[in-house]
Structure 1
Amino acid sequence: MAIIVNPTAAEFKQMLAEKKTFLADFYATWCGPCKMLSYVLEDIDKEMGERIDIVKIDIDKEPELTEKMDITIIPGLFFIKNGEVASRYAGFLPKERLQARLEKLLGNEPPVEQAPDKSYDLIIIGGGAAGLTAAVYARRAGLKTL
């Protein structure tokens, strides 16, 4: 088992039909978070490569498969167990969180994380200069911030 880069849509469908368990990463070469995730996936492959395949699908090379899988945000991670989508995640995941999800996928638990505590002192909407500044000052003040 290893990292499989750019399978065709037919090869991807074949993996699903064969009831394989794997992680599918829908990415683009021009995407910054996708590049960051590629390093995480390489580390995970070194540690877990014997236990799970990682399939990397370039959305620009497989637009029909990307549309069929309803990819709207990249990187798009699909946790596939026995040919079925067990869960999906959009965006970058740090190694520890991704590895924990993969361990669950290989076991008998659904590959999801517990919901975070819903109690916050401050919720900031917006990621512009004002929102980021507010987050920095709220953190310095010790506020639990979302």
Structure 2
Amino acid sequence: MSKFNDIIYSEKPVLVDFFATWCGPCQMLSPILKQVKDNLGERITIIKIDVDKNQELASKLQVRGVPTIILFQQGNQLWRQSGVLSKDEITKIILEKTNG
């Protein structure tokens, strides 16, 4: 948990993907997030958290379904969404919420 806090308290925005290995939509989201990272490069950190292996963290952040993506900056939750979005939608939201 402390490592997670170290990551989300970064100056750089952090997009956290809560997923499960058995989740079909999660598998669809993975290449989309790679495209977002390729597009934004060093402006964003993207990490993946397996909810089955990190149940305490998922519970603390009230992740009820997967995939859920949450955008943090300096420890603040700026945005969250469950389900699959397109690369363009995710990129636009990140830039809007973090003053790009």
- CA positional deviation for 1:10: 2.4
Distance in 1, Cα, partners of 2:9 & 2:15: 15
Query: Do the aligned residues in 2 keep the contact of 1:19 with 1:84 (CA within 8 Å)?
Result: no
1:16 aligned onto 2:8: yes
Root-mean-square deviation (Å): 1.6
Distance in 1, Cα, partners of 2:58 & 2:85: 20
Q: TM-score, normalised by structure 1?
A: 0.63
Please list the CA deviations of residues 24-52 of structure 1 after superposition, one character each: whole Å capped at 9, or x if unmatched.
11001111110000010111111112110
Look up the equivalent residue of 2:31 and give its one-letter code.
Answer: Y
Q: How many residues align?
A: 100
Query: Do the aligned residues in 2 keep the contact of 1:34 with 1:74 (CA within 8 Å)?
Result: yes
Change (3 A) 1:101 1:18: closer
Pick from 49, 54, 65 the counterpart of residue 62 of structure 1: 54
Query: Do the aligned residues in 2 keep the contact of 1:75 with 1:92 (CA within 8 Å)?
Result: yes
Pick from 78, 81, 94 the counterpart of residue 102 of structure 1: 94
Aligned to 1:25: 17
Distance in 1, Cα, partners of 2:8 & 2:46: 13
Look up the equivalent residue of 1:92 and give its one-letter code.
Answer: V
Pick from 54, 73, 89 the counterpart of residue 65 of structure 2: 73
Instruction: Give the unaligned 5+ runs of structure 2.
Output: none
Query: Do the aligned residues in 2 keep the contact of 1:81 with 1:105 (CA within 8 Å)?
Result: no
More helix by share: 2
Please list the CA deviations of residues 27-81 of structure 1 after superposition, one character each: whole Å capped at 9, or x if unmatched.
0111111000001011111111211000111101111001001010111111112
Pick from 82, 90, 109 the counterpart of residue 82 of structure 2: 90
Percentage of pairs with the same residue: 35
Pick from 33, 40, 49 the counterpart of residue 41 of structure 2: 49
Higher Cα radius of gyration: 1
